Amino acid sequence: MTVAETPFVSEKPSHAADLPGFEGSEKRVELDFYPSRCATYTRGLRHFTREQLDELMTLAQCEIVSHTPGQTFDAYVLSESSLFVYAHTLVIKTCGTTKLLGCVERLLEFANALQMSLRRVKYTRASYKYPEVQPFPHQSFEQEIQYLDEHFSTVLRSKGSAYVLGNSQDGLQWHVYVADAEKEGSTDANNARVTVEICMTGLSQVSVEPFWHKNNGGNAVWATKASGIRDLLAKSKIDDFAFEPCGYSMNGLEGDAFNTIHITPEDGFSYASLELCGYQNLDIPQIVNGCAKVFNPQHLAVAVSTDLVSVDGPGFATDGLPAPADMLSSGCTYQTLGPGGATLFCTYNAQLQTSAAAPMSALLIPSTSDLALAIETPAISEQSILHQTSSSISISSETDTPTSKKPRTAESTLQSELLLCKLQSYQKESVAC
């Protein structure tokens, strides 16, 4: 069952108060450990106490707002994104100006107390929209790489490999750091972990209306259904959370796999992300198309990664993925990873003929998953990055900056009294049910 936490109202960090918008692009770290050398700790990392997890999240500058236990892992909705704890794997992703990597040193200490040694670490993120306000060590990819090497190279007995995928002129770029004590990824197709991360910017104004508190009244279940997310992830056990005055997060559990969505609805820097991890035989093009239908983004990027040494099969063709409906491909990059595995990164842009505003008739039925056809254009800026990895792989590319995610201030620019009336009416009906 979902365990409700103390009511939580999220606010922007004080050092980000002067930003024109919220930084939606998530930082994500995934750590794999060997089983404990002590028979007492059969549940591995799931032996971490709530107090220990709270301490880690405080170091990362966020906090837990909801918890859903599963059979093989625990899922936590955070004030900024999500946390997933398996017996031997821990995944944390945070947005905004959080200090994600600030918790890794203490995390390793907690794991060591359980007699568990680190086997592999992987860090990924898209481009930042506001890199200049990120806290240390997240002010540049070079800085993040140096910090990761300093904290993991001794434990894993080697430095990691780092990559920047994509072209800044095509939209977002994808940053990857990976280090593995075994020097090569999984060779067992049955145990290989596939992760799909989708980032969307310039969301349809109508599609994000359910994620404003003035429309959902804090009813996250209603927002999940009205937006089309419930239909998109029909088999998932969902733990959802609606923020005030706007913003939305959810975790979905399906057996050993999880999915998670995070949304910033504010006009001008709207952002949504969907991650799916641990699924077998996932129809990736279908999922990407579903996201495009729900959010109707101006720009969409998808990163598909695996720790399998030899990558083959549906959904992971090295030459890319088909473009979603009404979108055009702007480029794909396939990269094998030094310690084993690979990442495929593709970007897409909405076709120019898409209408820039939704007709009023499209605003009358907010309960459907087909909510809108309104497009906004986010601001884009660029910066350069050059990094030389320990294995002499040199990456020189332009780093684009994306739009953002879970904002806490400002009002929606769409003020249709008719739309609000319909939303409120639907909400009352949903609550009554």
Between 369 and 32, where is the model more confident? 32
In a domain, 364, yes or no: no
CATH classification at residue 133: 3.60.90.10
Which residues are the active-site residues? 23, 26, 81, 95, 249, 262
257: Cβ contacts below 8 Å, ≥ 6 apart: 276, 277, 278, 279, 280
Q: Does a structural domain hold residue 392?
A: no
* Percent residues over pLDDT 70 in the chain: 71
pTM passes above 0.85: no
Cβ-contact 238, 82 below 8 angstroms: no
Nearest residue to 8 (alpha-carbon basis) of 67, 70, 68:
67
Domain presence at residue 411: no
- pLDDT, tens digit (0-9, with 9 covering 90-100), for 104-138: 999 999 999 999 999 999 999 998 877 878 878 98
Structural domain contains residue 229: yes
Q: Does residue 139 carry a pLDDT above 50?
A: yes
Q: Which domain holds residue 94?
A: 27-350
Q: How many domains does the chain have?
A: 1
| DSSP letter string, 290-302 | HHHHHH--SEEEE
Residue 35 DSSP class: P
Is residue 57 domain-resident?
A: yes
Asked if the structure places residue 3 within a domain, the reply is no
- 384 inside domain: no
Residue 319 covered by a domain:
yes
Query: What pLDDT does 168 receive?
Result: 81
Residue pLDDT, tens place only, 196-228: 999 999 999 999 999 999 999 999 999 999 999
Contacts of 413 (CB under 8 A, 6+ apart): 205, 267
Cα separation, 294 vs 274, in Å, equals 12
